Amino acid sequence: MSNHILCEVRGGLGILTLDRPRALNSLDDGMVRAMERVLRDWADAPEVRAVVVRGGPRGLCAGGDVRSLYTGTDEDAIRFWADEYRLNALIGSYPKPYIPLMDGITMGGGLGISAHAPSASGSVRVVTERTVVAMPETRIGFTPDVGMPLLLANAPGELGTHLCLTSGQAGGADAIYLGWADVMIPSQRLDELVGALADADSAASWEPAAAYDVVAAFAVEPPHAALAEQRAWIDEAYAGDSALAVVARLEELSAGDGPAAGPAGAALAELRSVCPFSVAVTLAALRSAPKLGSLEAVLAQDLALGAALIARSDFREGVRALLIEKDGAPAWKPARLEDVDPAEVEAAFASRA
């Protein structure tokens, strides 16, 4: 059992708390394996009727522990991802109400342990006014994984494409609009919510639908999703399968005098700063994901891409420059999107199961 995973059963509620605050609850392999063991045990335990997953004061989870992947071997990284994706698949088909509290920072692997919670089992994904969601992998020379290409591709229009190519962030209301969350609850009421769920789960007449009813009683109307106002120009800019065409459309929009000029210019600057090879691979992964047919198939694609990308220099260079030494812009190879070889992008998908 990991020292960074705390578990208790209160009433009939399993409460799993990520407790690695100095690393913003970044997931290492011990945490992933501990979560999987606990969730499998609780899935079979009749006394556990629902599960809450929560983090700490700053957020649920900032993602995978990329610092450890930077120092470890390629084989270590692939093993970690295989374990993590097995956990994601378990959550995606969890048989009991699974209620992630996506309060504060919820990025990368944090979305992998929350956004896939299945509504069919009575699960409810909770955000707050403090929620910040993102899949920022292109910034460090990687690609969105943990099955999120499926949810990114299924977001309204091209909003998911915009967010992941530019490593952009969004708030709680946006997460609901994107389809990654269900309800918004004020952060100061989360402890009260957990108590109410525990009380409901201890009731003799409890049914799975009761979890949703309890959560809904705490929900508030979310503010307007800021991304919704940007959708028209984003859909125009990010359509199609060519990253170079996206850049060209952003250049055209940013050169105009319409309301989209400023946001398009900012997106263009971000797209030019992140890893070019990651941008090309990520766009291809998003276009492929809806055709694969299941979360498990998308996770298999994620693992194939992870193995291909860890073998390149970009990932460790991105982590080194931005997180370890923090010495400026990474030296991407190639340095420009125009120099990415389409055959190398295609080869990254070659080992997909």
Same domain, 96 and 232: no
**Residue length, the chain?**
353
CATH code (residue 200): 3.90.226.10
Same domain, 21 and 106: yes
Predicted pLDDT of residue 328 = 82
Same domain, 84 and 137: yes
| Domain assignment of residue 37, given as a range | 5-218
Residues 6+ apart with CB under 8 A from 115: 100, 125, 148, 151, 180, 181
Same domain, 91 and 158: yes
Same domain, 190 and 280: no
Q: How far apart are CA 118 and CA 213, in angstroms?
A: 16
Q: How far apart are CA 308 and CA 220, in angstroms?
A: 43
Task: Match 């994601």 to its residue by tokens.
Answer: 88
Burial (CB < 10 A; 0-12, 13-18, 19+), residue 274, is buried
Query: Does some domain include residue 146?
Result: yes
User: Which domain-ending residue is among 218, 244, 277?
Assistant: 218
Q: How far apart are CA 206 and CA 208, in angstroms?
A: 7
Residues 6+ apart with CB under 8 A from 77: 69, 306, 310
Same domain, 180 and 306: no
Element at 5 (helix H, strand E): strand 5-10
Same domain, 232 and 321: yes
Same domain, 70 and 99: yes
Same domain, 174 and 247: no
Predicted pLDDT of residue 1 = 63
Residue 22 in tokens: 């100095």
Same domain, 97 and 193: yes
Same domain, 114 and 234: no
Predicted pLDDT of residue 208 = 75
- Give the CA-trace dihedral at 230, 233, 238, 244, to 10 degrees: -130
The radius of gyration of the chain's CA atoms, rounded to the nearest angstrom, is 20
Query: Does some domain include residue 353?
Result: no
**Peptide linkage before 276 cis (omega within 30 of 0):** no
Element at 52 (helix H, strand E): strand 50-54
Q: How far apart are CA 172 and CA 36, in angstroms?
A: 26
Q: Phi/psi at 60 (nearest 5 deg)?
A: -75, -55
User: Which domain-ending residue is among 218, 236, 263?
Assistant: 218
Longest dimension (CA), the chain: 64
Predicted pLDDT of residue 159 = 98
pTM: 0.96
- Domain count of the fold of the chain: 2
Query: Does some domain include residue 330?
Result: yes
Give all strands of the β-sheet with 132-134 in edge-to-edge order: 59-61, 105-107, 132-134, 169-171
Q: How far apart are CA 289 and CA 346, in angstroms?
A: 15
13-18 and 5-10 strand pairing = antiparallel
Q: Phi/psi at 134 (nearest 5 deg)?
A: -170, 155
Predicted pLDDT of residue 204 = 61
Mean pLDDT for each consecutive 10-residue tract of the chain (353 residues)? 91 96 96 98 95 97 96 97 98 97 98 97 97 98 98 98 98 98 98 94 72 95 96 97 97 94 97 98 98 97 97 97 93 97 96 61
Plot region of 153 (φ>0 → left; ψ -120 to 50 → alpha; else → beta): alpha
Q: How far apart are CA 147 and CA 94, in angstroms?
A: 15
Element at 14 (helix H, strand E): strand 13-18
Give alpha helix (H) positions in the chain: 29-44, 66-71, 74-92, 109-112, 148-154, 159-166, 172-178, 190-201, 209-218, 226-238, 243-254, 261-273, 276-292, 295-310, 314-319, 342-348
Predicted pLDDT of residue 209 = 80
User: Which domain-ending residue is among 189, 218, 247?
Assistant: 218
